Structure 1
Amino acid sequence: MEPAGQDEGQQLVERRIAVAGAFEGSEDIAVARDLARRFLTDVQAVHGLPVSARAMSMVQLAVSELVTNARKYAPGPCLLTLEVNGGAVEVTVWDSNPTPPAVLAPDPTRIGQHGLEIVMAVGQSFAVHREPVGKRITTAIVLADDPGGDPAGRRL
């Protein structure tokens, strides 16, 4: 017997909206950004979820910065996962280096090494998790701008 309100064949678990890719060379950074753009285009076109222009740009920026850091500081491939969760897209990059990244204080005179600063500024959250091999860095970026016009993810 089916629970009340359940149509025959209706899924009890919501489908996961996610994509993943493995990247080995510096040329793959552009491929990772393209994967993020195509994923978010599908999130909107296929799944009907709103994706603001800001979210599209910020996810691609976060992907670029995180994959660049993984390629620069860790040997071997890195893995990128994008997953829609609670109105945001979680951007996760795994690499083989177990050393947590150094998050430097903002310094407008410093040349370079602003990637994590940028990721932390555009994301709603930021976390580093050690893994049995390597580490996993995750940030979440809100998909839709506030109906009042505030940019996605920005809280005053």
Structure 2
Amino acid sequence: MIAEARSFAGAFLDRAVVRGVAVVPMKRGDALLVVSELVTNAVRHAPGPCSLALDLDEGLLKIAVSDTSKRSPQAQAFEPRRIGQHGLEIVVALCDRVDSVSTARGKIVCAQIMVV
């Protein structure tokens, strides 16, 4: 599921380039990493299905991952010796904004990143 989500996001950004949106290659890579991290968190920490939604408007890519867990993600304190569990730290570092919204079925984690 994680590889499929990343592939879906890559194809989405490729279509944007074909339509004339000047997606910066490094930002494309950052966006794919954010998708991978958010979907990985949903798969690992939620008991049910998850979904990915993407929107690109004036260079701002909005990434929304919904899952069935009510628990909002919490970035851990920086610890360079910790192995793993740095995903949300990476997402926060790469994105312009990251929010979590509770829903009746769980939550939606929304990240925004400029890709142009």
| Fold similarity call, TM over 0.5 | yes
1:97-145 deviation per Cα after TM superposition (whole angstroms, max 9, x unaligned): 011112111111111110000000000111011111100001111111x
Across the aligned residues of Structure 1 and Structure 2, the Cα RMSD in angstroms comes to 0.9
1:50-105 deviation per Cα after TM superposition (whole angstroms, max 9, x unaligned): 10101110111000000000000001211001101232100110000011112111
Q: How far apart are the structure 2 equivalents of 1:123 and 1:91?
A: 10
For 1:101, the equivalent position in structure 2 comes to 73
Q: Which amino acid aligns with 1:97?
A: S
Alignment of 1:7-156 (within 5 A): 28-45=1-18, 47-144=19-116
Q: TM-score, normalised by structure 2?
A: 0.96
Q: How far apart are the structure 2 equivalents of 1:87 and 1:51?
A: 8
Determine helix, strand or coil for the equivalent of 2:73: coil
Structure 1 segments unaligned to the other structure (5+ residues): 1-27, 145-156
Determine helix, strand or coil for the equivalent of 2:3: helix
Number of residue-to-residue matches in the alignment: 116
Structure 2 segments unaligned to the other structure (5+ residues): none
Task: State the structure with bigger RCO (CA 8 A, min sep 6), 1 or 2.
Answer: 2
Structure with the higher fraction of residues in helix conformation: 2
**How much identity, in percent, do the aligned residues show?**
39
